[in-house]
Chain A
Amino acid sequence: MHPVRQKRLLWVVAIVLILGAVVGLVMYSLQQNINLFFSPTQIAQGEAPQNTTIRAGGVVVDGSVKRDPETLAVSFDVTDYEYSMTIEYLGILPDLFREGQGIVAQGEMMIDGVFKASQVLAKHDEEYMAPEVSDALKKAESKKVTGAGSAASF
């Protein structure tokens, strides 16, 4: 082969190999680290998988925050005004966490239907609500309007 072509071929092979490795790495990591969001309604209907990291969220129900007297454990309910669910968390809640505020939690569903959060996110801006949460609220709202019968087709 002509030396210039040989060189060029070597470059092409090297680049293809690198890109192949990168694509593989990206696909694998993406698969491992995508966290689907589920609304309280979806969770109540058993759509959420167990033992997989997912996100869940809604508006914190008034008067539902319970603290353990000894540790930093805390539990609270979130709702999309259709269904609600209980979230347990061990740690310090963010500043903007409060009753009536939209939050997103990341964690896993337990067998008893409780969501065990590893992270609780509340947002910087008071007026700002995570799109997932506002979307879930809107969905639950529109279902109320169209009647509870459509819940099965959801």
Chain B
Amino acid sequence: MFPEVGQFSLILSLFFALLLSILPLLGYWKGNRLLLSMAQPLTLIMSLLVLVSFVALSSAFLTDDFSVLYVAQNSNSQLPIWYKFSALWGSHEGSLLLWVLILCGWCTAVALKIRTLPLEIGPVVLAVLGTVCVGFLSFLLFTSSPFVRILPDVPADGGDLNPLLQDFGLIVHPPLLYMGYVGFAVAFAFAVTALITGNLNAAWARWARPWTAASWAFLTLGITLGSWWAYYELGWGGWWFWDPVENASFMPWLAGTALLHSLAVTEKRGVFKSWTVLLAIFTFSLSLLGAFLVRSGVLTSVHSFAADPTRGVFILGLLIVLVGGSLLLYAIRAAQVRSTVSLGLTGREAWLLMNNILLTVLTLTVLLGTLYPLLFDTLGLGKISVGAPYFNSVFTPIALLLIVLMAVGPLSKWHQTPTRLLLKPCGLAAMFSFGLSAVVVYCYEFGGLAFISLAVVFWVVVLSFSDWFSKVSAGTKGIIPRARQLPRNYYGMLLAHLGIAATLVGIVLVSVNSEESMLRLSPGDTAHIAGYEFQFDQMTRVTGPNYVSSKGQFTAYQNGRVVATLFPEKRFFTTRQQVMTEAALDAGLTRDLYVSLGEQIDESAWGVRIYVKSFVRWIWLGGLLMMAGGLLAALDKRYRKRAGA
């Protein structure tokens, strides 16, 4: 019964989404206030219906209703209850429902905050969001309904959730990632609204900023969690693979970062208007492109959902309609919002322009590397893959340049910066950071790239703090009251920039200071890696709820003292007949000890990976700082004022 309720309520919500996408726009053109005022209730009803449908599917999962095909494929009666719930987004159909639910969540948030917007703007924003909802709801209903039944031959038990997804990281990673992806739909809706109404001014940028900052923060957290999950769950200790699916989430992040900064310029100076609008469209398009790449199976990836050509075609169509439509609108209307730009070479605008150029270039290089195999194949030139070295060699120099400039930007003033304001702190910071980095590199015998990267890290830290200090020490009031007076926005930026530095520390040290080895070990053997001694104590058999496991025990010694006992596992999931590696970690702020089991080679010997990873936690620590920065910026008090217009 419940699955039918879910399906029916999805159909109804599509109906309301259609109304939402039409009526307020009609109201806008006719100047009809009644039609405009319907946007808010329509949004709420649509979202509520999607929620009902989501609850219906979750209850099917929680009650083991294997008459529903999707549940039968992705769940099992032996599965622990929290995985039964998260199995909902374990595969294509359910994850798309989650996507739509989150989209509706954002719509609801906008609808509830509609009073902060002028009377005719809010409903149009909701109508644009409604159009996006129509696209995804029909995608869900027409190509991938999760409520399809298998009757009358109901299977006795389900096919189980992919063991890789039976993990805490995978309970939280997709929802957060989608929060980010889909959140950019709000920025997109604001951009399209600006084009429709021709109302593009500083106030517009002020409305769009908190939404963009919030979705950026979620996306950051989502990517961070994904990287952390890959590190401990895939069993080979990498934290980023330049896999097409990772790139799919990284490109909107890069474009979204550019958008955040160009919105700041548009708000404060009223320039870059049409560029900002274009960037908002571009960012959401990249989110959609990501969805296309992940779900259509056109690219070889470790995360691909099982491929289905009709779905690919549908998303491609959706992409073309939404992106093509908004770009067409842009072409027609952008001329009206053009602003005359006069840029000082040293003003903050110029620094933010550089930020935007470099971030766009980074996005395009990642896009090129990701789509190149597709291009090559379409032209009939053969099947290729673009290796991680491409991304590393292109990304690294541009990103480092960007980070160097990132630290200087906040010191500058709008329009024109007196050179002395920049020269002195930059000179001092350069001397300090190069000196310190030289000492570190000399002591630990790192290479040239590490020298430059660490210098960049110190540069960012020094300049960020000196900027903060110069802001709080100016004036007569004393440091603490001044520090409190600085807007949350500013602290958000400071945190995010320091987060970048922290991530960079992690990336550099994990790549130059880690030791990794693959060994053949039997119980009783020891291995010496990076000053640690690892002893393989024993193997035991363990039975879990839906798997049997070979569990190893390793003891790590440093200078004869026990540092950690590690229990890596090799789990065999009985329903899916699939083997999974559970790496054992001893996490630390300066190093991780990482042991994972490979295959059993003969009666006693195992292939074993033992890594000592330097500062790897800092990569994700930086991600958390960035996320906190984004949230802080989104919660700035200035954005909460009601619209006067």
Min CB gap B347→A, angstroms: 11
- A72 and B384 contact, Cβ closer than 8 Å, known pairs A96-B578, A125-B162, A132-B300: no
CA distance A104 to B598 in the complex (A): 18
Contact with A along B566-584 (1 / 0, CB 8 A): 0000000000101111000
Q: Are B304 and A128 in contact (CB under 8 A)?
A: yes
Q: Which residues of A contact B394 (CB under 8 A)?
A: 22, 25-26, 29
Q: Which residues of A contact B164 (CB under 8 A)?
A: 124
CA distance A121 to B580 in the complex (A): 15
Asked whether any CB of chain A lies closer than 8 Å to the CB of B313, the reply is no
Q: Which residues of B contact A7 (CB under 8 A)?
A: 342-345
Q: Are B520 and A71 in contact (CB under 8 A)?
A: yes
The residue on A at minimum CB distance from B353 is: A11
- A92 and B302 contact, Cβ closer than 8 Å, known pairs A7-B345, A25-B394, A25-B397: no
- A residues 9-59 with Cβ under 8 Å of B? 10-11, 15, 18-19, 22, 25-26, 29-30, 32-37, 53, 55
Min CB gap B286→A, angstroms: 18
Q: Are B602 and A130 in contact (CB under 8 A)?
A: no
Min CB gap B396→A, angstroms: 10
Asked whether any CB of chain A lies closer than 8 Å to the CB of B393, the reply is yes
- A92 and B598 contact, Cβ closer than 8 Å, known pairs A22-B361, A30-B390, A55-B385: yes
The B interface, classified by DSSP as helix, strand, loop or mixed, is: mixed
Task: Categorize the interface residue count of chain A.
Answer: 35 or more
Q: Which residues of B contact A15 (CB under 8 A)?
A: 357
Asked whether any CB of chain A lies closer than 8 Å to the CB of B387, the reply is yes
CA distance A35 to B581 in the complex (A): 28
The residue on B at minimum CB distance from A132 is: B383
Q: Are B302 and A123 in contact (CB under 8 A)?
A: yes
Contact with A along B295-316 (1 / 0, CB 8 A): 0011110111111000000000
Q: Which residues of A contact B393 (CB under 8 A)?
A: 25, 29, 32-33
Q: Are B518 and A104 in contact (CB under 8 A)?
A: no
Q: Which of A25, A34, A128 is B306 in contact with, Cβ under 8 Å?
A: A128
CA distance A102 to B497 in the complex (A): 44
Asked whether any CB of chain B lies closer than 8 Å to the CB of A91, the reply is yes
- B residues 347-397 with Cβ under 8 Å of A? 357-358, 361, 365, 368-369, 372, 376, 382-390, 393-394, 397
Q: Are B389 and A37 in contact (CB under 8 A)?
A: no
Q: Are B162 and A124 in contact (CB under 8 A)?
A: yes
The A interface, classified by DSSP as helix, strand, loop or mixed, is: mixed
Min CB gap A93→B, angstroms: 6
Q: Are A37 and B383 in contact (CB under 8 A)?
A: yes
Q: Are A92 and B162 in contact (CB under 8 A)?
A: no
- B residues 138-187 with Cβ under 8 Å of A? 162, 164
CA distance A10 to B303 in the complex (A): 45
Q: Are A36 and B382 in contact (CB under 8 A)?
A: yes
Q: Which residues of B contact A22 (CB under 8 A)?
A: 361, 365, 394, 398
Q: Which of A4, A10, A26, A71 is B368 in contact with, Cβ under 8 Å?
A: A26
Q: Are B602 and A69 in contact (CB under 8 A)?
A: yes
Asked whether any CB of chain A lies closer than 8 Å to the CB of B425, the reply is no
Q: Which residues of A contact B298 (CB under 8 A)?
A: 131
Asked whether any CB of chain A lies closer than 8 Å to the CB of B273, the reply is no
CA distance A69 to B604 in the complex (A): 12
Most chain B C-beta atoms within 10 Å of own C-beta, residue among A34, A35, A36, A96 = A34
Min CB gap B70→A, angstroms: 15
Q: Are B303 and A95 in contact (CB under 8 A)?
A: no
Most chain B C-beta atoms within 10 Å of own C-beta, residue among A36, A92, A130 = A92
Most chain A C-beta atoms within 10 Å of own C-beta, residue among B162, B344, B520 = B520
CA distance A44 to B230 in the complex (A): 36
Asked whether any CB of chain B lies closer than 8 Å to the CB of A112, the reply is no
Q: Which residues of B contact A55 (CB under 8 A)?
A: 383-385
Asked whether any CB of chain A lies closer than 8 Å to the CB of B591, the reply is no
CA distance A124 to B299 in the complex (A): 14
Q: Which of A19, A33, A95 is B580 in contact with, Cβ under 8 Å?
A: A95
CA distance A35 to B437 in the complex (A): 36
- A residues 56-100 with Cβ under 8 Å of B? 67, 69-72, 91-93, 95-96
- A35 and B385 contact, Cβ closer than 8 Å, known pairs A125-B304, A126-B578: yes
The residue on A at minimum CB distance from B578 is: A126
Min CB gap A80→B, angstroms: 13
- A positions within 8 Å CB-CB of B: 4, 7, 10-11, 15, 18-19, 22, 25-26, 29-30, 32-37, 53, 55, 67, 69-72, 91-93, 95-96, 104, 106, 121, 123-128, 130-132, 135
- B positions within 8 Å CB-CB of A: 162, 164, 235-236, 297-300, 302-307, 342-345, 357-358, 361, 365, 368-369, 372, 376, 382-390, 393-394, 397-398, 518-520, 576, 578-581, 598-599, 601-602, 607-609
Interchain Cβ contacts under 8 Å between A and B, 23 examples: A15-B357, A18-B361, A22-B361, A22-B394, A22-B398, A25-B394, A25-B398, A32-B393, A33-B389, A34-B372, A34-B385, A34-B386, A35-B386, A35-B387, A37-B384, A72-B607, A92-B608, A104-B300, A124-B162, A124-B164, A126-B576, A126-B578, A131-B300
Q: With contacts A34-B387, A124-B304 known, what are 19 further pairs, Cβ within 8 A?
A: A7-B343, A7-B344, A18-B361, A22-B365, A29-B389, A33-B386, A33-B393, A34-B372, A34-B386, A55-B385, A72-B518, A95-B580, A104-B300, A121-B302, A123-B302, A124-B162, A125-B304, A125-B305, A131-B298
Closest 5 CB pairs of A and B: A92-B598, A37-B383, A33-B390, A33-B387, A92-B607
